A = this chain, B = another copy of it.
Amino acid sequence: MMTQRGLLIVLSGPSGVGKGTVRKAIFEEDGIDFQYSISATTRQPRIGEVNGEDYFFVSREAFEEKISNGDMLEYAQYVNNYYGTPKSFIDETLASGRDVFLEIDVQGALQVKSKMPEGVYIFLTPPDLTNLRERLVGRGTDSQEVIEKRVTAARDELKQMINYDYAVENDQVVFAVERIKSIITAERLRVARVFEKTL
Contacts and interface: CB of A to CB of B under 8 A. Distances in A.
Interface in A82-118: none
Interface stretch (A6-14, A27-35, A155-163): A155-163
A199 B133 contact: yes
Contact of A162 (B129, B130, B191): B191
Copies of this chain present: 2
Interface string A55-91: 0000000000000000000000000000000000000
Contacts of A161: 191, 194-195
A81 B162 CA distance: 47
A132 B151 CA distance: 54
A154 B131 CA distance: 47
Contact of A190 (B165, B181, B197, B198): B165
A158 B189 contact: no
The A interface is mostly helix, strand or loop, or mixed, namely: helix
A129 B189 CA distance: 14
B199 A151 contact: yes
A166 interface: yes
Nearest to A131: B1
A99 to B, nearest CB: 15
Given A151-B199, A162-B191, 18 more contacts: A1-B134, A130-B197, A131-B197, A131-B198, A158-B199, A161-B194, A162-B195, A165-B190, A165-B191, A166-B186, A166-B190, A166-B191, A167-B189, A167-B194, A168-B189, A182-B182, A183-B186, A186-B187
